[in-house]
Structure 1
Amino acid sequence: MASLDSFKSRRELNVNGKSYVYYSLPVASENGLGDVSKLPVSLKVLLENLLRNEDGTTVKAEDIKAFAAWLNDKGSAQHEIAYRPARVLMQDFTGVPAVVDLAAMRDAAKNLGADAKAINPQVPVDLVIDHSVMVDNFGTPDAFEQNVAREYERNKERYEFLKWGQSAFENFRAVPPGTGICHQVNLEYLAKTVWTKDEDGATVAYPDTCVGTDSHTTMVNGLSVLGWGVGGIEAEAAMLGQPVSMLIPEVIGFKLTGKLSEGTTATDLVLTVVEMLRKKGVVGKFVEFFGPGLANLSLEDEATIANMAPEYGATCGFFPVDKETLTYLNTTGRGDAQVALVEEYAKAQGMWRTDEEPVFTDTIELDISTVRPSISGPKRPQDRIVLDDAADAFAVALDKEFNQLNEAHKRAKVEGEEYSIGHGDVVIAAITSCTNTSNPSVLIAAGLVARKAIERGIKVQPWVKTSLAPGSQVVTDYLIKAGLQKDLDALGFNLVGYGCTTCIGNSGPLPKKISDAINAENLVATSVLSGNRNFEGRVNPDVRANYLASPPLVVAYALAGSMNVDITKDPIGYDDENEPVYLKDVWPTSKEVADLVRTSVTSQMFDERYGDVFKGDAHWQAVQVSGGETYGWPESTYVANPPYFEGMTMTPEAPGDVVNARILGLFGDSITTDHISPAGNIKAASPAGRYLKEKDVPVVDFNSYGARRGNHEVMMRGTFANIRIKNQMVPGTEGGVTKHQPSGEQMDIYDAAMRYKEEKTPLVIFAGDLYGNGSSRDWAAKGTRLLGVRAVCASSFERIHRSNLIGMGIIPLQLPAGSGWSDLGMKGDEVVTIENVANIQPRQTLAVNIKFADGSEKTIQAMVRIDTENELEYFRNDGILHYVLRNLANG
């Protein structure tokens, strides 16, 4: 449907003889909108979206005018808008449950007497299967083939289901396993920077935008594609035609000057940016990069910075279109016509990067030349450590984080080996994840470190599990062309798969003798990975300290074998003559790296790898498809019909008060979505493990929580089951345990929740700051809802999880300063009542009454973090999926 176009902005753009329709921002400015030329480019993208989609209902002229008002107050008076992204990106961990929900919605539509095919994506959806491969095999030439074969054995039921979805739904494509990480496939192939579609006999051109079911969807902002992560339930609503409800955000300008100094990498730069922006506080805000320093960064460097927006807390980290954008589009085979369109469109819309500084809410500045080699850890991406201080920082962490300083020199003998291991020894060294594997400079640098190490006669320490999991097949091509893959192979960094692997928790088991030694002496073993997430309990259940580092530093730490080694001063190994070898002896120069990148990365590689990308290998082609417009739901421990729509009626009931609720958990600060709904290992003794054993699934085939997100029975039992989560109702414990009240009996959180359900007792959660930070994990909200939780009371919320809670009909309540649960002296045996729920309005305060065990009471005023009218509609419908389903079923 064409826009109402109140500002008469519809125009034609001719590019090399082809005509496109577009909605011109300069013309709209002349026709009553006012001068918006100094808006940040990221907001110009949002403004164009509203101009093009003005319908008088979800988008009105006053919403468009709000962007001109934004310039006057720089975002302090925020305005709600309805934003429609061009497309949706999914990975399989979140994609499978999203397709499960769509299949369940089709069943529910039939039950309501509506057309099942009304449940169908309205915008293009691409699902990239990249989160399922595990590092079971490593350090051998056939590790890749073995891991792929095991992946298909484990995930046969999931892949059959996804193939059904590909045939049942329109506008839905699945990129087969073994292609690459969704963000790199997006960057290298799917994204266009300027999107087009045929409408009413014309070709409409507009900015490429997307939302994705992975928080690191932001990586594509490096290619000037506005995109960010949303929960799976939000993504489903977007693909079903619902706008994304949001406030016009504040935009923080990040000025970059200077150039990286010799010996530093894009990873060092991004870890510095993460630290600075976390300190600044940018949650819920856009960050846009500008300044002369951009001229000294490659697009892959910019994508590295954009990727880690979730780690610095921003909605996105945006880079405007410039010459480097065009070069990258050319190199990756987008075609001359597309590149010409991007240049002409960006210049016509004022979206081309110039020296003129936009108006920002606030700015921050970094001279890139001051960046120093760094790592981050041991638990959070924002905790940057200058490399010179890394060994000392681990000693501090051993004391402060792990309470092991008195036993710092403790060693454990490894059975059958001549060596022992101790605190701080690196047992996993993984070149993994999307942050760095989009960037040839750091991967070439890793290969050169390997080559120089071999030339100096040093090897990886025998207790280190090494792996290389590139973001795309193109990486393998240029490493082979550069002659560096054989060097990485020689150190044990053989290809293990194309996928997230270690960063998502698919590191696979450590060799048994290493695992046994760690657990026998309760060692604080470490991992070093080139990823973006290092939350506790995420990487591997045997590894307690995790450090993010550049790929060449991953290789260096594998050689040194320990975080106790100061690799800036101490030897990282000894050659055959027992002479010390230092990091400076194996570290490549910037010129060496640049020369190899220039000669090794070619556009032909992209053309060949993406020429038939949806075909897949022989494994994928052999996957069978069955089912029609609705799914048959065969017996499966991977895919099951969820209970969200049971008993649903066309008219929603008003949400009831939360009366005499019990507390399921008291949590501290920085509880991540990985704490709430882990992605990795399923413990045999956990509720989920017991369920799978009851279903005759052997422990060796448990797979991971992430792979089983299509089965609500597993995921309910996995909610709050992270092995490192600390429920302060049960001090001194780790893992998903709580106390049932009023009995005081200690038990698994799932078991307590089911007992409360039998007793018809509602539940609430209390937590500290940044509740739900980390991945855009919808199961962290779905599982919470299925356990019976009605409200989450926290000091602050991370953006995506707050939205997901609303999407599942849970009230997010922000506690006032000084009224956190610890300030109030709560122990978890209190009774909580929240009234007037049916009449709540966005961001109002609501009375939370807390009755203590001694009979005393306190009432606090908490802010309802339902921020917009759209979110309120979702909540009143008992969730976003119910809201969408009712609208579609009503025709």
Structure 2
Amino acid sequence: MTHSSAKNSLNTLTDLQVGHRSYGYHSLPRAAKQLGDLERLPFSLKVLLENLLRYEDDETVSRSHFDAMAAWLDDKRSKTEIQFRPARVLMQDFTGVPAIVDLAAMRDALAAAGGDPAKINPISPVDLVIDHSVMVDEYGSASAFADNVSIEMQRNQERYEFLRWGQQAFNNFRVVPPGTGICHQVNLEYLARTVWSDDRHGNLTAFPDTLVGTDSHTTMINGLGVLGWGVGGIEAEAAMLGQPVSMLIPEVVGFRMNGRLREGITATDLVLTVTEMLRAHGVVGKFVEFFGDGLAQMPVADRATIANMAPEYGATCGFFPVDEQTLAYLELTGRDADQVALVEAYCKAQGLWRTPGHEPSYTSVLELDLDTVEASLAGPKRPQDRVGLSKVRSTFELLMEQGEGTAPADTGRLESEGGQGAVGIDASYLHASSQYCELDGEPLHLNPGAVVIAAITSCTNTSNPSVMMAAGLLAQKAVARGLTVKPWVKTSLAPGSRVVTEYLAASGLQAALDRLGFNLVGYGCTTCIGNSGPLREPIEKAIVTGDLTVSSVLSGNRNFEGRVHPLVKANWLASPPLVVAYALAGNVRLDLSRDPIAEDANGNAVYLADLWPSQAEVAEAVARVSTAMFRDEYASVFDGDATWQAIKVPDSKTYQWTDSSTYIQHPPYFQGMAPEPGALTDVEGARILALLGDSVTTDHISPAGAFSTDSPAGRYLIEHGIHKPDFNSYGSRRGNHEVMMRGTFANVRINNEMLDDVEGGYTRHVPSGEQLSIYDAAMRYGKEGTPLVVVAGREYGTGSSRDWAAKGTLLLGVRAVIAESFERIHRSNLIGMGVLPLQFADGENRRTLALTGEETLALHGIAGGVTPGQTVTLDVTYPDGSTRSCKLKARIDTANEASYYAGGGILHYVLRQLMAD
């Protein structure tokens, strides 16, 4: 067999016979003959090394890069920049729509320059799964799913027409229609192959399945031995167009797992523990790789739950190597037998197969005995803040004491509708802070800590049959005892794929969930992404009137402020069975580890232990999950329903923009773009647009959920004839830059330190002193010709891979963001849009400089170009005329990033290359 390869200096290209097929592949054992022993290299770095071998061209990849990978073993870290080319790209619709908008705008720009617009086309396969748009408008009924899908299609008609256009206009671009599943679960259960193969170069070649995705939880696929992580839509577009992902060879943190989980402990409890440990250790910008004998009995579903939350512990990825559990999952989910055989043969030939006792070399190592994991939640504001089940009540009450109200430390209990304490426990002390309301004609008191949202949601957990079956079994036991969910709780079940519906129905457990109000509401992210929908009007009114701090409990991965629902201040991540339990209890101020949840029909106290299913019961239920379920549900995954199929779109290579559309607008990035970028200049006379604290998330910068009529975005839509019920969400409006720039820094929970006791997206215009929305102030500064900067604390840009957090920042006129540290994805996105990320030196920050927002700033050292890690000088002029200076580190980490920044952003860089061709 012959092979085609750009270069093969180490003579690694060889053949692999699997069944009746022969594959060419680049052999890592052959590479080791010249590079030295590679056996101790972490599995994830072996995948990167194979990628480099396959793309050797003496320009972007050369022998020096192979040597640097081998030399990594000496120091367990490296300063070498490499170019990674993923096999494919995964998108969801919130980030996918603006990405396709950008590609459409690039086609227009290329056509205007006399080029062929068809050159703007994905080179690598792209799958876009529509999963972020369905909202929980209807719930608690058999018709909820159909009703929500109908509303979704009506709300998003323009967006879906646009995606249908993209589906026919671009090659290598597939769309999974609405109502199918969550992108990461569809990826895990169907799209991923673990080992990829194609004949792109005229020969059948095998190589590791790799990807980047426009959602931070793309890392979920690491549980299947597939190396992939989240990037911004900006980087994903560049990867689609053939640009490599530029990165430093990462540090790799090893996480050893020993033993097995105890009876009653779930994969959710485990991942919350892992998240807490790794966030404390510090793994931002690093790979995490799991190893140890504890993996032998850990199914892929549990591994995927842990890998999914890599963004929460801050890592680029959380990788699990391939072993027998991987093969078992591939077989269960209906992958072709030849594909499973290829995975086993290839991984064993390449040294990518995990064997008992094998321990690669790591930069650092953490260890966890699985039998020490306890029942846990995380909250009330960050996913890394794990709270043992027995500590939830005291944690909430401490929150109240620290600013959300006050409460006695030891006597609080939920008050039932009838005015008596739950199961006879005194709840009288709650009366002073409760709020009376009527629901369906029945009086009740809504108390602090009330669980107003209980959502089984998010691919993190709905991809895992063990926790989903546990939720169904707990519901079944609760129904048998005559228990019901409290009336103020909004319940929902939104699995990540239709397979979940099949196995819950086959096991008889969906009926019990339905009885408790956990009816199917949709196949999508729903509450986890902020699409929780409205609460019932009396509940919302009571929360606002009483200024109550109420709670949500969801089986998701994000609980940042203002994300789940703007009126819900305390949000808790929990396993699906605990979501059901808290819906029954109705308040987080019940200690479910020891207090009764409720009384049954005979007046007997019912405890969580009475309802919690045993491991044997869960295993028996999980055994009913069959391969046929996966094959049936994925047989027509790209077809969609009749409504989707009926959408008509023009057959054109360029998009026909409509001025009247409030969903899809031609973005301004490339209009009038010169063939050569302008020269970089220093920043003079800048003002601070926002002065922010630590852990500012991309949700703070660019929220995804609902917005009000008096917000800048709301006013814009009203001016364009859109009424409040049709606002949809920020996430769904990401194809319209006019909405999104108005929504930048508009989260209702963001705190700008330039203002006292003001929450939300506001700032002070200087020198007028007028308080304005951040958008309105930015527009005024723009008219005045004043450049802007944002100043923040540690961990700036944590959370989702949200490219609009960078796009909106740019469109507001922000030239640079100065912070104490950056999260990986957002830092990269800022560079990708031509905004400079600058980092304070250790020990310096906005407080040591005594910044209030009244100052004038200058940044020197930018003119002429910025090199990786160079120093930029910040000069501060205070209102009294005094000055101070300090040195900042440019967080441009690679030469490619420097080129992108100099070119005005990564897409401008790519477009100019195509124009030159």
TM-score in terms of structure 2 length: 0.96
1:405 CA displacement: 3.9
Which 10-residue stretch deviates more, 472-481 or 614-623? 614-623
Which structure 2 residues correspond to residues 717-736 of structure 1 after superposition, within 5 A? 717-736=742-761
Contact map agreement 2:861 2:871 (CA 8 A) in 1: no
Partner AA of 1:629 in structure 2: K
Q: Secondary structure at the match of 2:48?
A: helix
Distance in 1 (CA, whole Å) between partners of 2:635 and 2:685 is 60
Q: Secondary structure at the match of 1:186?
A: helix
Which structure 2 residues correspond to residues 234-633 of structure 1 after superposition, within 5 A? 234-354=235-355, 355-400=357-402, 402-405=404-407, 410-415=433-438, 416-598=441-623, 600-633=624-657
Which 10-residue stretch deviates more, 467-476 or 655-664? 655-664
Contact map agreement 1:655 1:878 (CA 8 A) in 2: no
The Cα RMSD (Å) is 0.9
Partner AA of 1:509 in structure 2: P
1:734 CA displacement: 0.5
Query: Gaps spanning 5+ residues in structure 1: where?
Result: none
Distance in 1 (CA, whole Å) between partners of 2:652 and 2:407 is 61
Contact map agreement 1:688 1:718 (CA 8 A) in 2: yes
Contact map agreement 2:141 2:519 (CA 8 A) in 1: yes
Q: Deviations for 1:592-637, whole angstroms, at most 9, x for unmatched residues?
A: 0001101x20000111111111100112112221250000012310
Which structure 2 residues correspond to residues 167-182 of structure 1 after superposition, within 5 A? 167-182=168-183
1:881 has 2:907 as partner? yes
Q: 2:796 aligns with which of 771, 792, 813?
A: 771
Q: Deviations for 1:434-490, whole angstroms, at most 9, x for unmatched residues?
A: 110110000000000000001111111110000000010000000000000000000
Residue 117 of structure 2: aligned partner: 116
Partner AA of 1:809 in structure 2: G
Which structure 2 residues correspond to residues 213-228 of structure 1 after superposition, within 5 A? 213-228=214-229
Residue 425 of structure 2: aligned partner: none
Contact map agreement 1:258 1:296 (CA 8 A) in 2: no
Task: Quote the sequence identity (%).
Answer: 62
1:401 CA displacement: 5.2
1:262 CA displacement: 0.5
Contact map agreement 1:36 1:67 (CA 8 A) in 2: no
Q: Deviations for 1:361-419, whole angstroms, at most 9, x for unmatched residues?
A: 01000000000000000000000001011111111111225244489651111133221
Partner AA of 1:412 in structure 2: Q
1:733 CA displacement: 0.7
Residue 28 of structure 1: aligned partner: 31
Q: Secondary structure at the match of 2:442?
A: coil
Contact map agreement 2:397 2:406 (CA 8 A) in 1: no
Residue 50 of structure 1: aligned partner: 52
Q: Secondary structure at the match of 1:872?
A: helix
1:346 CA displacement: 0.2
- Could you say if the C-alpha distance between residues 741 and 217 of structure 1 is closer, same or farther in structure 2, counting changes exceeding 3 Å? same
Partner AA of 1:185 in structure 2: V
Contact map agreement 2:866 2:902 (CA 8 A) in 1: no
Q: 1:807 aligns with which of 827, 832, 840?
A: 832
Which structure 2 residues correspond to residues 815-834 of structure 1 after superposition, within 5 A? 815-834=840-859
Q: Secondary structure at the match of 1:414?
A: strand
Distance in 1 (CA, whole Å) between partners of 2:5 and 2:675 is 30
Distance in 1 (CA, whole Å) between partners of 2:594 and 2:389 is 10
Which structure 2 residues correspond to residues 597-746 of structure 1 after superposition, within 5 A? 597-598=622-623, 600-634=624-658, 635-746=660-771
Contact map agreement 1:118 1:889 (CA 8 A) in 2: no
Q: Deviations for 1:815-855, whole angstroms, at most 9, x for unmatched residues?
A: 11222111211100110101231332110111011111111
Partner AA of 1:859 in structure 2: S
Q: Secondary structure at the match of 2:154?
A: helix
Residue 96 of structure 1: aligned partner: 97
Residue 40 of structure 2: aligned partner: 38
Distance in 2 (CA, whole Å) between partners of 1:709 and 1:452 is 43
Contact map agreement 2:131 2:178 (CA 8 A) in 1: yes
1:36 CA displacement: 1.1
Distance in 2 (CA, whole Å) between partners of 1:115 and 1:582 is 68
Distance in 2 (CA, whole Å) between partners of 1:627 and 1:829 is 54
Q: Deviations for 1:37-92, whole angstroms, at most 9, x for unmatched residues?
A: 110000000000000000111111101111111011111x3210000000000000
Partner AA of 1:3 in structure 2: A
Residue 422 of structure 2: aligned partner: none
Residue 18 of structure 1: aligned partner: 21
1:726 CA displacement: 0.2
Q: Deviations for 1:568-589, whole angstroms, at most 9, x for unmatched residues?
A: 1111111112211110111000
Residue 415 of structure 2: aligned partner: none
Q: Secondary structure at the match of 1:296?
A: coil
Partner AA of 1:21 in structure 2: G
Partner AA of 2:276 in structure 1: E
1:865 has 2:891 as partner? yes
Partner AA of 1:410 in structure 2: S
Distance in 2 (CA, whole Å) between partners of 1:172 and 1:715 is 25
Contact map agreement 1:93 1:709 (CA 8 A) in 2: yes
1:649 CA displacement: 1.1
Which 10-residue stretch deviates more, 630-639 or 241-250? 630-639
Contact map agreement 1:115 1:889 (CA 8 A) in 2: no
Contact map agreement 1:528 1:554 (CA 8 A) in 2: yes
Q: Deviations for 1:852-871, whole angstroms, at most 9, x for unmatched residues?
A: 11111111100000000000
Contact map agreement 1:488 1:494 (CA 8 A) in 2: yes
Contact map agreement 2:234 2:829 (CA 8 A) in 1: yes
Q: Secondary structure at the match of 2:595?
A: coil
Contact map agreement 1:444 1:484 (CA 8 A) in 2: yes
Contact map agreement 2:168 2:651 (CA 8 A) in 1: no
Distance in 2 (CA, whole Å) between partners of 1:92 and 1:117 is 22
1:224 CA displacement: 0.4
Contact map agreement 1:89 1:210 (CA 8 A) in 2: yes
Partner AA of 2:833 in structure 1: M
Partner AA of 2:669 in structure 1: Y
1:290 CA displacement: 0.2
Q: Deviations for 1:497-518, whole angstroms, at most 9, x for unmatched residues?
A: 0000001000000000110011
Partner AA of 2:886 in structure 1: I
Distance in 2 (CA, whole Å) between partners of 1:443 and 1:360 is 34
Distance in 2 (CA, whole Å) between partners of 1:849 and 1:839 is 19
Distance in 2 (CA, whole Å) between partners of 1:344 and 1:304 is 26
Q: Secondary structure at the match of 2:211?
A: strand
Q: Secondary structure at the match of 1:839?
A: coil
Number of residue pairs matched by the alignment: 888
Q: Secondary structure at the match of 1:26?
A: helix
Contact map agreement 2:551 2:588 (CA 8 A) in 1: yes
1:3 CA displacement: 3.2
1:800 CA displacement: 0.2
Q: Deviations for 1:156-211, whole angstroms, at most 9, x for unmatched residues?
A: 00000000000000000000001100000000000000001103431010000000
